[in-house]
A = this chain, B = another copy of it.
């Protein structure tokens, strides 16, 4: 393979996603056009949100399509540049997709400062981290001392949400899918409690873990966990709707939770959906604050790495089944 190794979407999934929906391809080497840079991928992140782009029409990711390179955010090194101000050798964050080389307009890439770890731009300083930061602080607006609940708490966004909430002085309860993940959240990331949604006694455990109720629920899942959260929310509670991972990997989405809108009225709850791109103008300030927390050790980035493009499809399928802890990253170097 002398060209550009890449992973294509071979066919669109009708039900659950399988590795066979993808295929490896030796594509043409792209060139940096006028105002563009050519990027050699160092690593890319695999995130549940991209699953939504593979079916249906109601996605912010655009209409699904087969035969194209799978999309995803990566970091890489600029190996050719026709863009003013971006030197060869610079490290950048870019929508590389699942491939070795990609060309981008200068405005589509984020140049990574020399004193920052590029891999952090797939985690706390990247889309995941910004999503956690703005969703929690701008949408959820927790006050110190309040209880914050987060679902998919061991995931790429969730594990950062909980840590940021701790930094801001909240009690933090994470919901995840195994005892091992829960133990890790509590012992290594400082969560006050973790609850396994797969347990029969989930609702009781959640109640026990939130003795003062829930003030802010950061929802990465929708579905029954959202339903349970509605019952634990206090009057004036807020739900930051970030994602719907419980509904991505299926062609038969479940109905919404029974508490909508009845409990919203009774408890004056606000549910607000958001996309991180809405906060574009505040990215720099958020990165600066989070970089400070990383430096001081208050914020830890968990990654879960696999090696090589050919491992990506299976890593995605496993992610959707809840197999990851932290940010799943595919390394190409």
Interface residues of A (CB under 8 A from B): 58-60, 219, 222, 226, 239, 241-244, 247, 253-275, 278
Contacts and interface: CB of A to CB of B under 8 A. Distances in A.
A231 to B, nearest CB: 8
A261 B256 contact: yes
B261 A219 contact: yes
> How many copies make up the complex?
2
A203 to B, nearest CB: 15
A271 B59 CA distance: 19
A255 B255 CA distance: 6
B261 A265 contact: no
Majority secondary structure, A binding face: loop
A273 B226 CA distance: 16
A129 to B, nearest CB: 18
B253 A255 contact: no
B253 A265 contact: no
Nearest to A247: B262
13 contacts: A58-B262, A60-B266, A226-B260, A226-B261, A239-B261, A243-B265, A256-B257, A256-B259, A260-B260, A261-B271, A264-B272, A264-B273, A268-B272
Contacts of A255: 255-258
B270 A58 contact: no
Nearest to A269: B273
Contact of A272 (B59, B262, B270, B274): B270
A260 B260 CA distance: 8
A58 B267 CA distance: 9
Contact of A260 (B256, B267, B269, B270): B256
A255 to B, nearest CB: 4
Contact of A241 (B60, B241, B265): B265
A230 to B, nearest CB: 9
Contacts of A273: 261, 263-270
Given A255-B256, A260-B257, A261-B244, A266 B226 contact: no
A264 B58 CA distance: 11
Given A222-B260, A241-B264, 16 more contacts: A58-B263, A219-B261, A226-B260, A241-B261, A244-B265, A256-B256, A256-B259, A257-B260, A263-B273, A264-B271, A265-B273, A265-B274, A267-B273, A270-B271, A270-B272, A271-B271
